Structure formats: structure tokens, C-alpha cells
Structure 1
């Protein structure tokens, strides 16, 4: 058998249009931190690892949360009392953790906003059939072959979204 032939790379020309110094500086620059609590506590003179440990955050979750391997379970029996437990240093910036916990404990705002095609679908069905969901399910514009219950649920979501439903009512009152 013959050896596979190496393909010659076509158009391997140097690109003179790229400013390599700017590219290098862009890659070297730290990304912007979107979390305000972390951004305020960040010290640019320290490394990422040192900053995160000062805040009490984990740099590498695999090292922080050690998961025992099967070999450790099957190996010689050992007592957990005899294991050495390393005492972790208290983070110097504990306020960051507390602020993150407070922010995480807040419930997320529910957004049951329907997509634009779904809004058009609901308005068409309501205008044509009113509350007759069985007739809606037989309509030719019911492309996804929704059952009457699915259509009812979709229209219920549309009516509960005050912003979209009020816009529909307003446009209906302007026309009629």
C-alpha cells in the first residue's frame, strides 16, 4: 500500500492587513466582568486565582468539590476520622459571597411572553372563532395540529400577558 499524500495548503499567504500588536493586546486584556459584586471587589494587581480565593469563590470546582473515585471506595478501608482535614483560610472579601447569595435567592422574574408568530396565531383564532377551541383545532392555519386544550392554553397565556393582550385590544378598538 502507498502512503497517503499530504495536501498542499493553498493560499498560505501572510495577511498584511492585520495589526498583530493590537491583536496580541486584545487577547491579553481581561474580559469585562458583568457581575457588579465581583467587578467592585476585583484587584487588577492580583491573579485570577488569588482574586477568587480572596472572595471565597472557587477557581476550579473539580478541586473544590472532590468526588471520590471508585478505586477509593473499593480500596482498603479507611476511617474518615483519621483523614486529614485541611482548614481553609477565611476569605478576606466575604461581602461578595453574601451579596451573591442575596442576589441568587431573589426569585427570577417570569416572562411568559409569546413569540410574534404565536401572538398573530392567537389573535387570528380569537377574531375568527371567539372561544370555540374545537373549531380552532380544525382551522387550516393550525399548522402544528394543536389540540383544543393546547390552543386554549396558548390563548390563556396570551390573555395573561397583559402587555401583549392590551396591545391587541387597543388595535382592535382602533379598527372597530
Structure 2
């Protein structure tokens, strides 16, 4: 992806405002003491409706679609949090979401995707199966846009709103930010 600016993340924050929660920041004396730091902060993304930060990127990507793109609906492949996030974000925008999931996806995730209105398309277990199934669904739906779980500017900017909130909530007084890295 191209370089992402603070303005890009601020725009994403405006896009998702009112739909994604501004999650709280907690501290914990015991963990701070164990880590040998004065004040360790935790951004509580578990309080998002879908239970994870993924709603931020999905919402930003879907809100950034043109009307022409949006009326085709969207498609993604994921076995978990991103799938739920895309289903909910599409529901918020009022468009269909086609979610490709492996046949062994956790039942609780599948139920959540359905609850948020996502249309499930099951596939085999490997990435090749996911991608080929997604391409087939995409073609069947008239070329609906793919909402990537990572490595896409709109998704990254949406996820970046966590950092923006964290800095505001801690009054820019952090020495470092530690994040887990995964799809």
C-alpha cells in the first residue's frame, strides 16, 4: 500500500464514527508492575459489537465504496473476525455481503456472520480454495468489490483509528505502543 498519513486515518475515523465504538483504555497495576513499567494501557477492542478491532477496517473500506460499487454488494474470505466485521459493516451500509468461509470455520463465527446478515459460501480448507471460491462468487455477483482483511489502504486506515483514539485517550503520553501482528 502507498504511504498512509495521519490525515488518512482521521478521514477513516470520520467514516466509522457512530458505527464502531470508541473503546475504553484500561490500566492494570499488577501487569504494569510485572512488566516493570509505570503505567501499561490496554485498548479494549473486545467491546466492539463483533468483539474485535476488525470492524474498523471493514467499515472504512465499505463506507469508502462508491454508490455504483456498493450496490453490487461486497465479498471477502475469512474464517473469523474479519468475516463478521464485513457482514456487519455491509448491514450498516445496507448492502449484501458474501462471505467465503472454510468448511471447518468455528460454529460461533458462522452463526455471528449469519446474524449480521452475511451470505455464507463454504469452501475447502486452504487459501487456494478460499480465493477460487471468492472469485467465483465475485463473478456471480457482477464483480462485487473484495474487502481485504489486511494489506489494503482502506482496511489499514480503519484499523489505524485505534492508534488515533489511543493517543487522544492517553493525551499523547505513551512511550511505546505494542500490537500483535496477524491477518
TM-score (norm 1): 0.22
Between Structure 1 and Structure 2, whose CA radius of gyration is higher? Answer: 1
Higher strand share: 2
The structure richer in helix per residue is: 1
